[in-house]
A = this chain, B = another copy of it.
Amino acid sequence: MDSSLIAPAPGRRELQKHERERRILIAARRLFDRKGYAKTSMEEVAARAGLAVGTLYNYFHSKDDLLLAIMRREADRLLRIGERILADPPKDPILALAAMADLFVESISAEERMLWRELFAAAITSPHDLGARLLELDTSLVAQLAALIQELKDRRVLTNDVDATQAAMTIYGICISWGLAFVTNEEITVVSMRSGIIGAIRMIVRGLLPRAHQ
């Protein structure tokens, strides 16, 4: 008989671990989507995954942690697309920055806004834990944005006065504040969030002061 199926063989444990983690994530995802994050209890997630509650905590430190794991995929996808834009950015600075902002818009609208809302709140509440892990993402995105702006400066498309990091943080901050508005306000659509962000970018690029040559 095949001992790898009947009798436990070395490595079995590792496989089981992945399989269970996957099962937990799928169960949680399904329930969070159907009933909402707050209304879903860890008991329910455990039941759907065919495990005991305590077991969930061997895989994820907390309910929020479970949520982060679910949302993480989207965030990673985001960074990869960002790399691509960076490799060959649009010539127009507004379009280039808008392309980066679109990543943010897409990722935040790819999942239930309720889930992002809970994730944001959890990240704020535990800055050392969840928050720190989301911050890594922020930092990477700001770095990408800063690299793009530096590139545009080098091409003389943007003024040399500007500090690329500062500009990146500012634009990213605008994305965050629109993102927060979006996830907390059902009246804000993906379209209005997008045009709000792009409008702000256009304004920043052009400036508020009257132009001599106009």
Tell me if A117 counts as interface (CB < 8 A to partner B). Answer: yes
Name the distance in Å between A137's Cβ and chain B's nearest Cβ: 14
- Within 8 Å by CB of A170, from B120, B161, B203, B210, lies B203
A121 within 8 Å of B (CB atoms): yes
Q: CB-defined interface of A146-181 with B at 8 Å, one 1/0 digit per residue?
A: 000000000010111111001101101110111010
Interface SS majority for chain A: helix
Contact A131 B209 (CB under 8 A): no
Take A120-B124, A121-B121, A173-B174 as given contacts and tell me if A167 and B211 are in contact as well, using a CB distance cutoff of 8 Å: no
Query: Is A78 close to B, CB under 8 A?
Result: no
A212–B210 alpha-carbon span in the complex (Å): 12
A20 to B69, CA, bound (A): 44
A205 interface contact, C-beta 8 A = yes
Choose one: B122, B166, B204, B212; the contact of A213 (CB below 8 Å). B212
Contacts of A58 in B (CB 8 A): none
Q: Is A118 an interface residue, CB under 8 A from the partner?
A: yes
Binary contact readout A104-129 vs B (1 if CB under 8 angstroms, 0 otherwise) = 00000000000001101111110100
Known: A117-B124, A208-B93. A170 touches B166 (CB 8 A): no
- B159 pairs with A200, CB closer than 8 A: no
Q: Lowest 4 CB-CB distances: which A-B pairs, in order?
A: A207-B207, A173-B177, A127-B184, A121-B124
- Evaluate contact between A205 and B199: CB separation under 8 angstroms: no
